[in-house]
Structures are given as structure tokens and as C-alpha cells.
Amino acid sequence: KTFSDLAMWPFNFLPSGEPAAPKGGGSSGGASSSRARTGTTTEAPPSLSPRVVERASRLLRALPQVSDAVRSLRTFRDDGPKTWNDLRHGLHDLRRDAAALEVLPLTAEHFIDDTWEFILALMKASPKFSRQIMEALYVLLLSPRWSGGILRAKDRGRLTLWKLSSSSSEGEGVSPVSLTLGLLRLGVPADEFLPAAEVVETAPGFVEELFARSTELEDEQREDLEISSFSEAWRAADVPKRQHSEFPADFLQRQTSEPPIRECISMGSLTDANNAQAASISAASAKIVGDGEERRPECRKDVVDRLLDLACEAFECAAGRLEPMLSGYAGEQNIALSARAKVLDFRQRQCNLQAQLVVCGPCQAGKTSLTYSLVGFAALPPSVPSMVITRWVHTPSLAVPRLTMPEQLAGLLQGWSERLEADAALASASEPQAAGAGLRLVTGEAVEGIDAVAAALEHIHHIVHRGRQLGVLKAQELEQLCRPNMSLSVEVAFAALESLEEHLADAGTLSLVDLPSPDSDWLWEQQDIANLCRRALQEADGALVVVDSCRHGAPRWLMDSLKDVLNQERLLRREDIWVVANRIDQQPEFFSEGGVAEACDHVKKQQEDNFRGLILGQDHVIPAAARLSLLALYGLRRIEGQPSASLWNTFGKQPWFSQVCATLFGVRWVAHVRSMDRAKWRQSLRELQCLGQVTGPLASSVLKTAYVRMLPRSVARVMSDLAQLISQFLASLRALEEGGTAAIDVDRLRVVTLQYMQDVKERLRHKICAPTEKDVRRLAQGKCGAPVVFEAQDAAELNEKFFAVLAREALAVWHPFFTQSIAECCDEAGKAHQKWQRSIDHHLMKGGVDAATKQKILLDSKNLRLVSDPEGLPPPLEADQRDRLVAEHASKVPVTSAKQLFMPTQKSYIVTPEVVCAFLLDLSGAWVKAGLSQIERLCLVPIHKNCEDMLQNVEELHSHRLAGMIPPKVRRSSFNFAFARRLEEVLPQIASFHAQQGEDLSDAVEAEEAERCEKFCNEVRSVLREIHDPSLTSAKALAC
């Protein structure tokens, strides 16, 4: 077979004559099988064309980063998104040339296994990349060489394909079922990556499609699937009942296949009112964009990624040419490397782009019901007010919602839960099912599935609310919940964004942040909740302000928060604020003929007056009855199959069902619904959803606006920051070459030097190690625990000798303190001097000093010499000072005289413990004082002299500049700045590339832009190679 024939393997066929895929899927079998497949080709592998080699360059650059991330958890956490972005772009570049993966030259074969391990780890840690991961898997499975890596991978269950939905834009090949069939063709056993119980329970739709398409497998592969535990679990399940289950976990995946309202039924004014509201939102957004105030950036995210990578390469090249101009002091910053670090920050920011819509408003206004309806989360909201920040993250292709929380929040809730359980009043209010979900959360496990997530949210909010009700929790304790990092995160595919264009979804992530319900009476401290709302609005790209349309006026605290944030001119703008006038179903005219339109017009005018000056107009007011829409969505999920009498009897006792039916059919709803079939039931619920106004078109208009405006705005901000960085870098280069005209403030430098010396002195004082008074008293007790008496004729000599020996022994004990102090002080002084050198470097750069002069000044500052071996230093206390203390204290010892007949008078010296303690305390004081003097001589004096020399050089430079003379011994021609001319040509082009395409770009950026970007990158890299190796420029000129 040729490589073109292999291009669709393993999806369509296995090459003839190929050995059967291994059944066990083990490492050794998988590897040999992979080599066997590669060896079945009868034609020599084609050589890679230059075009394909260029396309493979991004993949080859990404593979070492992938290996680094696999081998370091910290690298995986910090750089994982950027690494994945590089890897997926590299694989996407080779999508049309998948055969090139077979002969792609790799510097290490472990890159293939590392790629699979990285993908498996990323799939578990960040489901938001699931759709992109599916596309990457599709490319990898096209290559026998690379697909063999999954056979050697461990814990393949991390590839949770059953939790994903299909990617409609890429065709059938990247659906979860198609990828699963591809893995089965490879020989990966079903039981190793499809946990039977979990898959059968949570994704029956996935299993049904898998077995329906199992005929695409070879006979032996199909037999392996049939005898697997996964297949047995499916057969053991009651399939007919499951098809009409009340709780289908993949409802979010299946509901998008429902025909649009306008295609299945005609509801006249209801549909017209809803579509008119959606069109109004879209028109308002289009008007803002059309006015030119916020235009979509003329390049897409992947093009910006390439430009950022190119800027990094340019700064790396410049760093090499600036290296000879550095003075070499420790910690010196190369301005090119500093600029590169900032570009990497831009790159990281670009990888984590996120548009954040904050849902805020007064208590019981319907924020959570609105949020559930917008994201398509078909569950009832918690029965208590929202007490914890909940962040809903749009995760394309994720069919099963997933709830997580940070460890700090989990520990806090766990502690509060235990305090509540200890309270007797909680016993009657506990719900076992909800409690189980919540307690599982605080152990660090993610909760998955609509019902499990809804139960966990109910339990979490219940813990906090019930704790405040019973007085177990104080209002001050809730301040911890007002911190931005203390939030729940629910990852789910927003149903309204199912049809969102792929390039928009790839631009970043959309989050809806449901803030806690403020209630200043007793739940929260008013200041805490106000600060939480204000902080969330400061970080928001847009805001949905939910108010009760039946209440006149807007809360004062909410109005003040919005005004403050708008006045600060941060991310939030007036055009990004939408007022949701909820509960229009409580308006008197709502249920009259034509009442929906009248109610919408009424509340629009009312809220425009309430929020005048904060929103642009009536187009930014959204009338809604969020609870009606949510009840309809919930009913569609709960009753999937054909209704029956037993089913109606079961639901007839549930409040949500009674409320739905009473709203639709009046008080005599019981007799009406018993004879209703499935089609009529679903049509009635869609009418109810349309009454609530929060339907697919409206939700799509609200959420898509964030992608169309807010995320591109973030991309444009990255490019603007890059342009500013390049401008500053080029200005610094010109200053290094030619010098500047700015004056150097020498007087200011002297003041800074004085402050710096005081700071160093204080730092060294804290580094000094000395015996404490307690240590000295303990030593004295050990040397003299009881009085010592000297009575011999030489008692005076013995007395003095006792103190001399005691002094030498004490100083020997304390000397290690001195050497340790010297070592630590010298180390601290060296660090402080490096900081001072950086300060001088900064002032010289600010003063416009050229590179040669700056290097000379900073080189002189490197002459600092500090003690390198403190062990060889003499004791700090000199011998004569020690002897004076010995003589002084020996003379203070009490003496008694005893006269004897015919014998000289006998003197007795009684050395008491108190005398010894006093002597050692005086000795230690003198030793510490001498040590401080020694440290100042060894550490501070050299630094002071070095600083004075440096300041003198700066003063000389300043005086020469004032006189218009070139400083002696400095020649500006000593450095070659020819490379700077080339950089001044290409760097501004990188920053301005996005503006060269014109102003009429469509949302789907044409492929020509990527080709143009690729051509531009090649041209810039050619210039960078010439800068790196000047001989290339000479050879090029000679050839011309």
C-alpha cells in the first residue's frame, strides 16, 4: 500500500496482508504490531517536500515542550495550556499531510509516547480542551507510527470519549464513537478505556451508537467487543426502560438535535416576540461593531500565536548580539531577554483568553434560574439563595456537566459541614442524597452528570445558608467566600452555542459567573457583598444585571457599583451591560391577548428609566420569565419517552410538574394531561419556554455577543501590548547605541545610596548570630555550679588563671557564631549589592547612557571583594581587651585573710556562680560589640567604597556630558549595532501585521491570511538568521 492509501487508516480498512491487531493491547504486542504495519508498505517512503517540512516545524518545536510537561507536574500546570496550543497547531498543520507523520524525523522516539501521555493527562485535568483533543486524536490515528503510542500508554481510561459530543464542523471522523472505533481497530481492549458501569449509566446514547456502528469493525474486533465486560454490562441493563429514562445524563448532547421552534410548530406572537428580542440584541451588537468603536481584530487567534512566537525568536536573536555589551554582574538583565519574558506572558494570556459575563442582582430576582436557562442546564435551582460564587464555563463537546472546586474552598465547606452536623437542629433538615454529593466534593473528586451536579450545588448552598440561619456561622466568616478564588466551577457545553463557529470557540473560553444573593439584613455583611460585586464587575467583560420587573426602582448598592466600575474605565463598558427584567409573567397584562409583547414593551421602558446613564437604551433591556423557561427545559429532560398513566401519577405529586401544567392548562390540568401524547407534551413545553423568553435564539444572541466582541477585544489588547513593548525595546536599543539627552540626577543617586546603605546595615543586623543571655547563663552554670575556693599561697594567681581559662573556653564556644554571622552577612551583602547594581543600571538606562559607557561603569562596580572563607578569620575580640576583662573581674572576687603563728597570712579567694555569670555576660557583650565592628569592616566598608567609586564615575560621566565631551577611555564604536537597523525594520512589522488586511474581514478568516502569515514569518526568520550569522549577509551581498 502507498502512503496515500494509508491516509484513512484505521478508520476505513486494514491494509491487506497485515497481521491481525493484538487482542491484549499490551505494550510489547502493540509496539511490534505498529512496526509491522509500517513495514507493510511496498514503496519507499516519499521524501518530505520543503513545504511539508515547513508545516511540520511547529510540531517539532512543540514536542520537547510536551516532554518537559510530562516529566514535571509544575511545568504541566503552569505551561500546559500553551504547550497544548503549540502541539495542536502543529498537528493541525499536518492534517492534510498525515502521511508525513510516518517519516517525520524525531530527535527522540519517546516524543510519541510523551505526546499520548500529555493528551491523556490534559483530557482528565482540563475538559475544556476536549473538542480540540478529539481533532488531535483524529490526526494521530491516521498514522500507524503515532497511533502505536496509545498501545503503550498507561491508564487509557483517562480518555473519556463517552462524555463528549460530536464536533459537527469536522465531519464524522472526529465524533467520539468514530474515535472509539478507531481505538478498537488498533487493538485497544474496550474494557481498558470504557469503564462498563460508568459508561452504561451516564451515556446510553453513546453506547447505542457504538453498538449500532460496530458492524464497521472487522469480525475478530467485533467479537472482542461482544465478549468484553463493557458489552455484558450493556446487555444486562434494561434497555427499553433506559430509552424512556427520567434522568438521561446525556440530555445536553441530545437536546440540540431537536428541530428549531420555527420548524416544528407555529406559535404566532410568542415566537415573534422572542425572535424580535433576539434580533434586537444582535442588532445592538452589530451597531456597536459597525460604528468602529470596537472592531473585530484583523487576524485570528492562531495567527496572533504565530506572531508572538516570531517576536520571541526575534528577541532571542537580539539577546545574543547584546550579550557582549553586558557587564556580567550577577542578576544583570538583558533587555532583549526581559522583552522575551513579557512576550511569553502575552502568550500565556493568549492561551487562557476568557470572556467573563457576571450575573448579578438583588436576592430572589432569579439570577440562578436565568443562568441555568442560558447555559441549558436542565435542573431545578437550589431551594435556598445562592451563597457561593458559581462559575459556569462553556466547554465545547462536553456532554456530561462537571463540577469542581479549589481545595481551600472544599476544606472550608467540610469544616462548616462538620459544625452543622454537630448541631442537633440540622438532623431533621438533612437530605441524604444531596449530602452524599456534597461530601464527595470536599474529598477532591469531581462531580459529573446533571443530577449529581444539581444535588451537589443544592447541598453546598444549603450548608452556608443553614449555618447562618442556625447561627452556627457568623456573618464575618462568610468574608472568605467573597474572594475571587473561592468559587465553584461547572464545566458544561452551553446548548445555545452548539452552532458557534469553530474559530470563535477556539479563541477562548466563555464563563458565566453567578454571584451570591446579597441580603444585607442578616445573611451577609453589607460591606463584604458590596466588595464582592464591585470586584467581580471590575474583572468582567460583560454584565447581566437581573432585576425583578415587578419591583419599581433598582437597588442603590447595585447602581453605585456599576457607576464606580464604569468611571474606572476598566474592561466593562456601557455597551456590555444588559438589564434582564425578570418575572414578566407576574405583570398584570402578561396572560392577556398580545400580553407578552405589551409586558416586554412596558418593562423595557421602565428599566431604561431605572438604569439611565448605565446602559445604551431599550435594546439593552431583556424581558424574561427565566423560571418558566427553566421549568420547560427541565420537563423536556425528565419526560423523554412516551407518557403513561403511571408516569403522570408519579409526576403529578411533584410541585414543578403541577406548576408547569397549571400554567399551561389552568386549574383543570389533571384531566387534560392524562390523555396527552409525547408530541403534544413536548410542544406544550416549548410554548412554555417561549413564554419565558429565554429560548435558544435569545440565549445564543446574548452569549455569542461575548465571543464576537469581548474575546477579540482581548486579542487586540495583546497585540497592542506587543506593539508598545517593541517600541520601548527599540528605544532602549537606540539609547544603548547613541546615548540619550536626558540628564542623570546624581544628587538623587546619592540620596538613594544613603538609603541603600542604611537598609544594608539593618539587614546585616538581623543576620548576626550571637549567644543569648539564656545561653550565657547556661554556660556559666556548667562552668561553676558551686563556689570555687582557692587557698594556696598562689591563690591570687590561680584565681586570675581561672578567669583566663574560662574566657578562652567561652570564646571558643562562641566562635562558630561569629563565622556563621560573617558568612551570612557576606551573602546578604552580596545580594544587596546586586540589587544596587540593578538600580544603577536602571538609572543609567533612564539617563540614556550608551552601552560602552554603561558597561565600563558597571564593570567597575564588580570590583567588590568580600570574605570568601570566614573560617580562617581571627576571633573578633582582641587579646588585650579580653585580658583587661579577666583582670577586672578577677579583682572583684571576694578575699578572706587568715593570720597564722609563724606563717604568712593565708588569703582565700571564693569564686561564686554569680561572679562567673557576671563575667561571662560582660565578656559576651564585648564579644558581640567587637563582632559587629568586624562585620562592618568586612562587609559594609567594601560596599560603601564600591558605591562611592561608582558614583564618582557617574559624576564624571555627567560632567563630560554637560561639557559635550566624550568620556575618556570610552569609544562608542567598540560595539557593532548593525543588527539594530535590521530589527528596526522587522519588529514593527510583527506588531502591525494584524492591521494590513483591511477593515472588511468576515468572521471566518480566509486561509489566505494564514498563508500570508506563514510567508511573512519565513521572511522575518531569514532576516534573523542573517543577524545571528553576519557571514550570511556578506555571502548574499557577494552573490548579488
Q: Mean pLDDT of successive 10-residue segments in the chain (1040 residues)? A: 32 32 37 34 49 76 89 84 84 79 82 91 84 87 87 87 66 75 88 84 83 86 85 71 40 42 42 61 54 43 81 88 72 79 82 81 86 89 88 85 88 86 56 42 70 90 86 83 86 80 69 79 72 83 86 76 81 83 82 75 85 83 86 84 70 82 80 77 82 73 73 74 86 72 66 77 76 86 84 78 87 84 80 74 67 64 65 80 86 77 72 87 87 81 77 71 53 65 85 55 54 83 82 53
Q: Rounded distance, CA 445 to CA 151, Å? A: 28
CB contact burial 397-424 (16+ within 10 A = b; e otherwise): bbbbbbbbbeeebbebbbebbeebeeee
How is the beta sheet containing 509-514 ordered, strand by strand? Answer: 447-448, 402-404, 487-492, 389-394, 509-514, 354-360, 542-548, 577-582, 621-623
Q: Rounded distance, CA 60 to CA 90, Å? A: 8
Closest CA to 395 of 505, 300, 295: 505
Question: CB under 8 Å to 984, separation ≥6 — which residues?
Answer: 730, 733
Q: Say what the pLDDT of residue 18 is.
A: 34
Q: Rounded distance, CA 606 to CA 585, Å? A: 16
CA 638 → CA 194, 244, 289, 622, 647, distances in Å?
A: 26, 9, 41, 28, 10
Cell, residue 990: 510583527
Beta bridge partners, 906, equal 898
Q: Is 121 exposed, middle or buried (0-12, 13-18, 19+ CB in 10 A)?
A: middle
Q: Rounded distance, CA 4 to CA 99, Å? A: 7
β-bridge pairing 509-514 and 389-394: antiparallel
Encoded amino acid at 223, one letter: E
- 3-state DSSP assignment of residue 621: strand
pTM over 0.75: no
CB 993 within 8 A of CB 1012: no
Q: Is 555 exposed, middle or buried (0-12, 13-18, 19+ CB in 10 A)?
A: middle
CA 714 → CA 296, 351, 509, 711, 999, distances in Å?
A: 10, 11, 12, 5, 18
Q: Say what the pLDDT of residue 174 is.
A: 77
Q: Rounded distance, CA 828 to CA 462, Å? A: 53
CA 263 → CA 259, 267, 647, 791, distances in Å?
A: 6, 11, 28, 121
Q: Say what the pLDDT of residue 261 is.
A: 37
Centre a 10 Å sphere on the Cβ of residue 317 and count the other Cβ atoms it contains. Answer: 21
Question: CB under 8 Å to 579, separation ≥6 — which residues?
Answer: 545, 547, 607, 610, 611, 615, 620, 621, 622
β-bridge pairing 354-360 and 542-548: parallel
Closest CA to 782 of 770, 774, 790: 774
CB 490 within 8 A of CB 391: yes
Q: Say what the pLDDT of residue 743 is.
A: 58
Cell, residue 823: 558568612
Cell, residue 721: 501590548
Q: Say what the pLDDT of residue 280 is.
A: 63
Q: Rounded distance, CA 444 to CA 373, Å? A: 28
Q: Rounded distance, CA 836 to CA 755, Å? A: 11
Q: Say what the pLDDT of residue 392 is.
A: 92
Q: Rounded distance, CA 50 to CA 682, Å? A: 58
Q: Say what the pLDDT of residue 123 is.
A: 87
- 3-state DSSP assignment of residue 1029: coil
Q: Rounded distance, CA 864 to CA 944, Å? A: 10
Q: Is 748 exposed, middle or buried (0-12, 13-18, 19+ CB in 10 A)?
A: exposed
Q: Is the peptide bond before 10 cis (omega within 30 degrees of 0)?
A: yes
Q: Rounded distance, CA 412 to CA 441, Å? A: 12
Encoded amino acid at 839, one letter: S
Centre a 10 Å sphere on the Cβ of residue 827 and count the other Cβ atoms it contains. Answer: 13
Q: Say what the pLDDT of residue 778 is.
A: 87
CB 543 within 8 A of CB 572: yes
DSSP state of 936: I
β-bridge pairing 402-404 and 487-492: antiparallel
CB 783 within 8 A of CB 916: yes
CB 873 within 8 A of CB 820: no
Beta bridge partners, 356, equal 511
- 3-state DSSP assignment of residue 385: coil
Closest CA to 763 of 839, 828, 679, 681: 828
How is the beta sheet containing 788-790 ordered, strand by strand? Answer: 788-790, 903-911, 895-900
Cell, residue 802: 581561672
Q: Say what the pLDDT of residue 532 is.
A: 82
Centre a 10 Å sphere on the Cβ of residue 246 and count the other Cβ atoms it contains. Answer: 14
CB 245 within 8 A of CB 665: no
H helices, E strands: number in the chain: 46, 12
Q: Rounded distance, CA 546 to CA 626, Å? A: 10
Q: Rounded distance, CA 507 to CA 495, Å? A: 18
CB 785 within 8 A of CB 910: no
Q: Rounded distance, CA 581 to CA 716, Å? A: 33
Q: Which 3-state string (H, E, C) describes 832-884?
A: HHHHHHHHHHHHHHHCCCCHHHHHHHHHHHHHCCCCCCHHHCCCCCCHHHHHH
Q: Rounded distance, CA 939 to CA 868, Å? A: 11
Centre a 10 Å sphere on the Cβ of residue 70 and count the other Cβ atoms it contains. Answer: 21
